[in-house]
Every structure is written in C-alpha cells, then in structure tokens.
C-alpha cells in the first residue's frame, strides 16, 4: 500500500477506496467517487465555519495555534514588531521579502503619492449621519472607490494591479481619519507626504485647526506596532471574505469592502470595541469574579478571549500588553487596565477557561491603548481594518496567481422540500 494514501471502506457498500494524501490533506473532490449507488452525487464534507477545511495553499502567514507562534513570511511577529515598521511589513507580506533600501523608498513614495482621496469621496463621507457606525462608513467608502477607479477591474494588467494596491494601502488611513473627523464634526486634514505613514495618519486624525501637531514618538511607534500586529492572520473570516469575493474577479475595492464588512462583526474585528464596553460595564476589580460567573453560566462571552486557531496565549496579545505599559507612561494609565489584568488573572486560573483553552487574544488589550490615544470605541475596528488591508491585498494577489483557485462556491446539504406543486389559485391571486 503506498504510504501517502488513506484507505477508506464504505460500510454501506463494502467498497474500498484509496485517497491520496498530500501535506496532511485529502482532496475534497476525491470523496465524490464514494457513492452508494451509481446515480448518487458522491460524498461531501460538512464543515460549517470551515473549521477543518483548507481553502488555499499560502506562503504568507503561518500560525501554530498550539504553541502560540505567528510568522509572517517565516519571520516571528515579535521580531518584526520590534525591528520593522508597518510599511516594511506590508511590503514583506505582499512581495515575500523585506524591502531593500531602494525598494522601500519606491514603495513608500508610491504609497504617499496615492494618499489623497477624491473630493467627492470626502463629500460621500460628509453625507453619512454623524452618529453612523464608522465601519459602515469605511466599508461604503471603500466600495465607492471602485466607481472612481474603473480601471481597477482590469486585473490582468500587472502594473494596474500594483496601482490599486498602493492606493488602497495609502487611502485607508485617509478614509479612516475622514470618518473619525466627520464623526467628531471636525474639519478634514489632508495627507502630508513628508510624514511617515503612521505620523501622517495620527496627524490627519488629531491635528486641531491651527496647531502644528507632532505625534509623540512613543505614540507613533505604538500605533505602528499595532498596525504590524494586525496586518495579516492567514485565513481569518475577513480574509476569507476577501478571497471569496475576489474569486469572481471584481475590482479589489469591492472585495476589500466585503472584507471590511466581515471584520466589523463582534466575533472578529469588532471584538476590541466590545472588550472596552465589557470592561466599563464591570467597572472595578471587585466585580470581576461575578462577571466570570456569568460567563461560566453561559449568559455571555468573555470578549477578547478565545480564538479559533490559538489554543495558547495569542502572541500578539503578549506584545500589546507590554506595549500598553510604554504608552501609559506617556499618556497616564488607563483605569480599566486593573480590571483587565484582574479579569485575565481570574480567567486563566478558572477551570471553565482552562478546559476550553481560552486565552486573551489580540483584542483584549488593544482597546485600552486606543482609548488613551483618544479614539472612541466604535473606531477601534477601523484601526484593525487599516492594518489588515496589507494582508487582504497580499492574499488577494496570491490568490490571483494561484492556478488552483476557482470561483468560491461551496456546496450545501439540502434539507428542504423536494419537488412540490404550487397550490391552485395562489399564482392567480398575485395577478389580481
Ligand atoms: N467566552 C466564553 N466562552 C467561550 C469564549 C469566550 N470568549 N470563546 C469560546 N468559548 C467557549 C464556547 O462557549 C464553547 O464552549 P462549549 O464547548 O461549552 O460549547 C467553546 O469555548 C468553544 O467555542 P466555539 O465558539 O466553538 O469556538 P470558535 O473557535 O468557534 O470561536 C471565537 C472562536 C473567537 C469566535 C470565540 O472564542 C469568541 O467568541 N471569542 C470572543 C470574541 C473575540 O474575542 N473575538 C476576537 C477573535 S481574535 C481577533 C480576530 O481574529 O478577529
């Protein structure tokens, strides 16, 4: 028997099959030969939420969820966060290697050149209600970019594709800042090509009318590290949305808008917002135990805890926890930090969490930093989206170049009625 095979006996028929194995995986289509009768459709795998289904081969991000390891293109996240900035990491994710000095200069100059948004895009943002959810505004605005750059639909042209990549990485902070200022009813600050990506982002967000704003270097670095930590995370929900929508070959703005929609949910990028609400609701250290009891009783989830892939401490959460201390030295501490630390301490000792291997994830401490930087909670997922755009685009480009990729179109197990006759008279009543 060849070693890289899996022998399967169908006990319905007694027939035996040999399925080939590669990289610990069977080809789902090989299951289709397993039939009970000749006109049977063949076996499928049922996997809601894709908990055990590989949808692509990828060379971008590696996660070892058991050990709590995260690598971008083979480099540990801890080293990248310490030694490199967000645009260098975005280049690494996209091209597979860290940039040389020359490549970095070209990359950053292309990105800063594309940072300004069309004035009608600003008008579009102005037209949203001031109290609209920021992720809704960002998603709609990114979708609208497809109407301003119709050439983006030409996916065969390599240079054209690159231009959309520069533009989306460049314009995400501009759009995010416009949305924030619209919400706060502050005038728009245009991008400044002279500044670093993150200093420019902070300036567009926080410069007041007549002041010259210079972000504190610790704050600038902290936001940059947060962007690095959020830049990619293999086949998460929003990346899957990006790849899935991109598989029908629309322009990348449409696919990115779908990814932003996926990121907005509380089980994904929206969790950081809910963590802060939860910490506020708990209010003080002495009320943590009672909150944990409610989680144990299944009344609510502990936001910022648990992960589909990590069954160990999320390495990004460790970095953010340390980063929070640096930031608080500059801004003064966040009173909710004590509540968060106590919550983590109790949860990590509690049998409910230990048994289910639930640890703090990337969203547990990030909100505490965003809050002291001056962001309202509803903006937290937007900051996640700005960082994750780098990953979405790298994954988009990879899927485009992957000959195995096809239109994403899952199967279903149909459990509805089989063929039924429409009752007499129903169609007639519609025409009256
Ligand atoms: N609090 C309490 N119980 C939990 C939690 C939590 N945060 N997460 C999972 N569980 C329990 C769940 O109730 C289930 O228990 P039981 O076996 O008794 O039914 C068990 O753990 C397995 O949960 P699951 O829902 O099957 O696991 P999943 O892999 O589908 O969920 C998750 C992953 C991230 C959706 C979930 O852990 C969760 O809802 N966490 C809170 C939201 C959150 O922090 N999301 C951010 C994720 S990291 C950033 C990102 O990638 O966007």
Kindly list the domain boundaries of the chain, sorted by start residue. 5-45, 66-267+386-400, 271-372
pLDDT of residue 2: 81
* Displacement of CA 291 from its chain's centroid (Å): 28
Cα atoms found within 13 Å of the Cα of residue 47, Cβ hemisphere only:
11
**How many residues are given for the chain?**
432
Residue bearing the CA closest to ligand 1, atom 26: 308
Query: Which distant-in-sequence residues (6+ apart) come within 8 Å of 319 by Cβ?
Result: 77, 78, 81, 225, 229
Rounded to whole angstroms, the Cα distance separating 186 from 137 reads 16
User: Catalytic residue among 268, 274, 291, 314, which?
Assistant: 268
**What top-level class would CATH report for the domain 66-267+386-400?**
mainly alpha
Best residue among 232, 264, 301, 306 to mutate for probing ligand 1, ranked by most atoms within 8 Å of CB: 306
User: Catalytic residue among 114, 233, 307, 314, which?
Assistant: 307
The helix (H) or strand (E) run that includes residue 22 is strand 15-22
Token pair 């037209």: residue = 127
Q: What is the pTM for the complete model shown?
A: 0.94
Torsion angle, CA of 245/248/254/257, rounded to 10 degrees?
Answer: 0
**Closest ligand 1 atom to Cα of 356:** 21
Extract the tokens encoding 33: 């030969």
Please say if 230 is a catalytic residue. Answer: no
* 3-state SS class at 79: helix
Chunk the chain into consecutive blocks of 10 residues (it has 432) and report each block's average pLDDT, rounded to whole numbers.
Answer: 92 97 96 96 96 97 96 98 98 98 98 96 97 98 97 94 98 98 95 96 89 90 98 98 98 98 95 93 95 95 93 94 93 91 94 95 93 94 98 98 96 95 73 52
Write down the CATH superfamily of domain 271-372: Cytochrome P450-Terp, domain 2 (1.10.230.10)
Task: Tell me which residue of 178, 195, 197, 196 sits closest to 187, measured CA to CA.
Answer: 178
* Cα end-to-end distance, the chain, whole Å: 69
pLDDT of residue 428: 58
Please say if 209 is a catalytic residue. Answer: no
Query: Which distant-in-sequence residues (6+ apart) come within 8 Å of 97 by Cβ?
Result: 73
Same fold, 66-267+386-400 and 271-372: no
**Closest ligand 1 atom to Cα of 314:** 48
pLDDT of residue 208: 85
pLDDT of residue 213: 86
Please say if 363 is a catalytic residue. Answer: yes
CA of 362 to the centre of ligand 1 (A): 13
Rounded to whole angstroms, the Cα distance separating 250 from 222 reads 35
pLDDT of residue 210: 65
């Amino acid at each position: 028997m060849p070693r890289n095979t899996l022998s399967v006996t169908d006990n319905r028929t007694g027939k035996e099959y040999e399925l080939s194995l590669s990289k610990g995986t069977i080809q789902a289509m090989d299951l289709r030969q397993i039939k009970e009768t000749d006109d049977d459709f063949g076996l499928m795998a049922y996997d809601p939420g894709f908990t055990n289904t590989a949808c692509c081969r990828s060379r971008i991000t590696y996660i070892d969820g058991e050990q709590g390891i995260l690598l971008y293109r083979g480099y540990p996240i801890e080293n990248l966060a310490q030694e490199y900035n967000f645009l260098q990491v975005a280049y690494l994710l996209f091209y597979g290697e860290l940039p040389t000095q020359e490549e970095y200069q070209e990359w950053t100059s292309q990105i800063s050149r594309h940072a300004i948004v069309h004035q009608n895009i600003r008008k579009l943002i102005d037209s949203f209600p001031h109290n609209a959810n920021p992720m809704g505004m960002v998603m709609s605005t990114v979708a609208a970019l497809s109407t301003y750059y119709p050439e983006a639909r030409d996916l065969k042209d390599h240079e054209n594709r690159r231009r959309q990549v520069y533009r989306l990485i460049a314009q995400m902070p501009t759009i995010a800042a416009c949305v924030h200022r619209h919400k706060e009813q502050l005038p728009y600050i245009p991008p400044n090509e002279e500044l670093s990506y993150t200093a420019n982002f902070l300036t567009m967000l926080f410069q007041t009318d007549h002041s010259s704003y210079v972000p504190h270097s610790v704050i600038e670095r902290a936001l940059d590290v947060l962007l690095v930590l959020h830049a990619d995370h293999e086949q998460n929900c929003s990346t899957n949305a990006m790849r899935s929508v991109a598989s029908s070959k629309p322009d990348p703005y449409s696919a990115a808008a779908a990814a932003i929609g996926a990121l907005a949910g509380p089980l994904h990028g929206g969790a950081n917002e809910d963590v802060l609400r939860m910490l506020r609701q708990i209010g003080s250290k002495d009320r943590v135990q009672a909150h944990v009891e409610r989680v144990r009783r299944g009344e609510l989830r502990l936001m910022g805890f648990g992960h589909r892939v990590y069954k160990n401490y999320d390495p990004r959460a460790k970095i953010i926890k340390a980063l929070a201390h640096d930031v608080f030295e500059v801004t003064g501490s966040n009173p909710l930090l004590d509540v968060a630390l106590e919550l983590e301490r109790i949860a990590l000792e509690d049998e409910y969490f230990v048994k289910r291997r639930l640890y703090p994830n990337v969203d547990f401490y990030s909100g505490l930093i965003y809050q002291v930087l001056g962001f309202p909670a509803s903006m937290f997922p937007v900051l996640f989206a700005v960082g994750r755009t780098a990953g979405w685009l790298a994954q988009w480009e990879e899927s485009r170049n992957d000959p195995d990729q096809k239109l994403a179109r899952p199967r279903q197990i149909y459990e509805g009625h089989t063929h039924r006759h429409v009752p007499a008279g129903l169609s007639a009543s519609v025409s009256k």
